[in-house]
Structure 1
């Protein structure tokens, strides 16, 4: 087992607004946001756990409409992080399930101290700031800006910014006095370095770094991004651009950022240890002394360790056990949509799936209702598109267009010239009990079509290597991400959806029209025209069938009752700097 430690091991020491509304122990608290809704239940009786995204009221369409309607230059007011406040007991459009408590039983204030013990079903993969690495590791770094859960851009390392009316230039004014964990000061050259590094690295899911024709640093605290085309989706890029200390960014044994937690040690496939950044620019945060993330790929081992008391938090808890504990007052459960979706992909360069007509037949061969109701226990809604209902790309008719029908699938395969028996493999990660269960369902259903599948569960590293490098002869079963962002961004970032670097070998020359369509969608500033482009992208996805969506997928988080201040971001992560232990 590889072990990587920081050069200096820091001593472990001990939300403003948590974006949740919590009432009594038998209540449901909901945070409303675009494409990212978090529902928390604690000891709720007969309450269905669902990310009820229909309640969301503010959309990215509105935000882009405001920008595109003639604002000229947008200036974000310089502002600090608000002082801690007590969460309200209700929000607009909802009410407490019980009468509001008396003043004497007000929500407890955050406490400092303690180490959060976190169970994760995936490892961080590698110590590099510009590859997606998991939500705990994200807290080592900050970014220029961040979305709140209403998709409003908020200041982070940038105090304010100006956006030109044609969306080709963005000037950021940096926060002064911010230090990297090694004591060096953040400045404009560090921002430029990180974006250019992301531009030059392959497979970072930061392809938008190539948008910028120049990055200027006229002074220590000003950085200007310039593009030769409109970039109305620029803040989707900055949401994911981690800012690392330049001299250590490429060192595979270091992780040095400005974030609320400092890197201490990574034991590959075992654990990640972080400690509190006592010099964090958000005064008073984080509350925790540190975080120890344990990598637990065996679902039953996750259950045993969490319910045995050796973990405070577990992410993506097995669905069966998640539902089993929903009435237990000793735990709090959260479901939140962070743009993930479940899907089946196939190798589009391997016969017979190199024939688009054969792939189209399989739209009727995937039982999405069974996936959502039986495997996911009603936590998901079946859909042939990846979008949450709040996305500007959501179209109800297209989302429900292909119902399970094996007879129709068989007839379409025959019409496509698939007459003989077909064999192939199906790759999935072995850490997901749900994917394993559904793979068996697909195996049985596909057998009725004359398609014999060999199931091949893989550990995380092997799965990513096999799927992303197209070293499989049939199908992969997994998911994608980024559907909470602009749909055009999702088609750029997501390995499942991407039309240039996807996991399904959907590539040149057959993807030429799709590449052109995505390119137009990423540069069109007019929200009305964009709406039609989203619809065209949906048509392309259902026509080319390089993936078959099953449902948008909510992340499942379960905590013990002593964990407070759980608040999501828009990228499958949590604001652990706002979390505290009672």
Structure 2
């Protein structure tokens, strides 16, 4: 039986109980359940053999094999093939155990005892042990690693964390974290002691064969993979594409077997094509327009408020997503029970936006919006926003760069830019975006009141008090945050009709669950 994090808190099961077998913590699916779309591709028993070729947006000479550097879809593809985490999100975003066998947590949620699965092997044949888990966490937190998600474990007390036995570790935290499994389920890979990113090995379903940065990565199946019978594929190839038209054409011609998150304007090119199917996924994914709160003009919260009021959300979603999106309110994780649905839906108000800009001394404002062809309607979103801003006398120059430039040294530092985000629950998304310890805070949001509330909320074991704290946090984000979030878009993955094992994913990342894929 699955138990949500909040039910565990309510029933007192956090009080040092050991959770065996099916006891897990849930993430953002909440009451929404599984996505409503149906599965796609052939049905029946999975078949063994063959190589799946995945066409991925992006890729450049700066592509990485490191388990800790994930700046693009191409990097994420390699991560998904080679590495695994202690917990993982399911397709409907429940958090389940991956490399964990069982665990227990104390009443204050600052001491977690974790037993890992026996019999797990790395690609080089080395058995997974407790030392590897501690080494992985130490490597993540080492500044020399430059791990993008190191901030998510800033509260880990490495000095007092220790090995209990060959398969068990005790993780001590500087303060309570009720959502530790969520944090450990994303971009916190388990690597072996002595890991070399130039010759990487993990416990994942595929073993690296060849890597050509910006072009192609090939893998072979992990013969001793711990999940019996998986992966079904003998091989996996990731091909990078610099533009969306080329990627879609490659799918139609059969050069690739899958292309995730198809640009909405290109969907007609795939509909009705022989041998090609579309997997339609309702997601909680969104494309935030990120305003750097530490630089002019966005260092003034009145300007940020004005920009949010420039948006006709329904019209913008139609332009960017062709209607395949739900209206958003500049906040994330709408299906998390902690989501503050009581906040009024923000609508376009040009007069109020103009008034706020006048108060900020920012009339006749000129701002550059830097974007790239990243799929998911991103370029259309930017262009539509620029057109709407003109009504308030704001000039937005859309600076479209290539993907290598967008994901280059300035990634995360553009003054105004979009991004692709596939959130987990509220606290984890907050932790990875604008919490006080976040290292991927692309809006550079810093707010003392918000930081204090965050620390209190993640340590709070009373669900009613925790919800109140989360609502107060969201009020701050709503009033003075740095994100413009207009909609939660559906994802359409194009794939050969011979690809099996696909099912809708709340994250929109179905094609990246490589261990589940098979070819008819």
Alignment of 1:136-285 (within 5 A): 136-201=78-143, 202-213=146-157, 214-240=160-186, 241-249=188-196, 251=197, 253-285=198-230
CA spacing shift, 1:434–1:389, aligned 2, 3 Å: same
Is the partner of 1:381 in helix, strand or coil? strand
- The answer (yes or no) to whether the contact 2:149–2:438 under 8 Å persists in 1 is no
* 2:432 is equivalent to residue 493 of structure 1: yes
- The answer (yes or no) to whether the contact 2:434–2:445 under 8 Å persists in 1 is no
* 2:475 is equivalent to residue 529 of structure 1: no
> Deviation digits for residues 513-552 of structure 1, max 9, x if unmatched?
2221222222112211121122112211111131211112
Match of 2:385 among 432, 442, 452: 442
Is the partner of 1:321 in helix, strand or coil? helix
CA radius of gyration, larger in: 1
Match of 1:412 among 356, 360, 363: 356
- Where does residue 21 of structure 1 map in the other structure? none
| CA drift at 1:321 | 2.7
Is the partner of 1:456 in helix, strand or coil? strand
| CA drift at 1:491 | 1.3
Alignment of 1:464-503 (within 5 A): 464-465=407-408, 467-468=410-411, 470-472=413-415, 475-482=416-423, 484-485=424-425, 487-494=426-433, 502-503=441-442
Is the partner of 2:96 in helix, strand or coil? strand
- Where does residue 580 of structure 1 map in the other structure? 518
Q: TM-score, normalised by structure 2?
A: 0.86
CA spacing shift, 1:161–1:94, aligned 2, 3 Å: same
Which ranges of structure 1 fall in alignment gaps of 5 or more residues?
A: 1-57, 80-90, 98-105
Which ranges of structure 2 fall in alignment gaps of 5 or more residues?
A: 23-32
Alignment of 1:326-405 (within 5 A): 326=271, 330-336=275-281, 339-398=284-343, 401-405=345-349
CA spacing shift, 1:107–1:460, aligned 2, 3 Å: closer
Match of 1:539 among 475, 479, 483: 475
In 1, Cα distance between equivalents of 2:87 and 2:427: 20
Q: Please provide the CA RMSD for this pair.
A: 3.1
CA spacing shift, 1:433–1:94, aligned 2, 3 Å: closer
Is the partner of 2:377 in helix, strand or coil? helix
- The answer (yes or no) to whether the contact 2:55–2:239 under 8 Å persists in 1 is yes
Match of 2:486 among 550, 554, 557: 550
In 1, Cα distance between equivalents of 2:173 and 2:438: 22
| CA drift at 1:269 | 1.2
In 1, Cα distance between equivalents of 2:184 and 2:34: 30
- Where does residue 432 of structure 1 map in the other structure? 375
In 1, Cα distance between equivalents of 2:261 and 2:327: 19
In 1, Cα distance between equivalents of 2:203 and 2:56: 23
Is the partner of 1:161 in helix, strand or coil? strand
- Where does residue 69 of structure 1 map in the other structure? 11
**Count of matched residue positions in the alignment of Structure 1 and Structure 2:** 494
Alignment of 1:73-88 (within 5 A): 73-78=16-21
> Deviation digits for residues 70-123 of structure 1, max 9, x if unmatched?
1233433358xxxxxxxxxxx9999999xxxxxxxx942111001001111133
| CA drift at 1:129 | 1.0
> Deviation digits for residues 537-573 of structure 1, max 9, x if unmatched?
2211111131211112343312111111114677646
Match of 2:444 among 490, 498, 505: 505
CA spacing shift, 1:425–1:94, aligned 2, 3 Å: closer
| CA drift at 1:195 | 0.8
- The answer (yes or no) to whether the contact 1:480–1:497 under 8 Å persists in 2 is no
Is the partner of 2:288 in helix, strand or coil? strand
CA spacing shift, 1:497–1:402, aligned 2, 3 Å: farther
- The answer (yes or no) to whether the contact 1:480–1:494 under 8 Å persists in 2 is no
Query: Which deviates more from structure 2 when the two are superposed, residues 522-531 or residues 326-335?
Result: 326-335
* 2:70 is equivalent to residue 127 of structure 1: no
- The answer (yes or no) to whether the contact 1:276–1:290 under 8 Å persists in 2 is yes
CA spacing shift, 1:363–1:155, aligned 2, 3 Å: closer
In 1, Cα distance between equivalents of 2:468 and 2:267: 39
In 2, Cα distance between equivalents of 1:375 and 1:570: 20
In 1, Cα distance between equivalents of 2:37 and 2:427: 36
- Where does residue 315 of structure 1 map in the other structure? 260
CA spacing shift, 1:579–1:471, aligned 2, 3 Å: closer
> Deviation digits for residues 466-496 of structure 1, max 9, x if unmatched?
6545354xx21234342x22x1221111369
CA spacing shift, 1:152–1:543, aligned 2, 3 Å: closer
| CA drift at 1:328 | 5.6
- The answer (yes or no) to whether the contact 1:385–1:538 under 8 Å persists in 2 is no
- Where does residue 29 of structure 2 map in the other structure? none
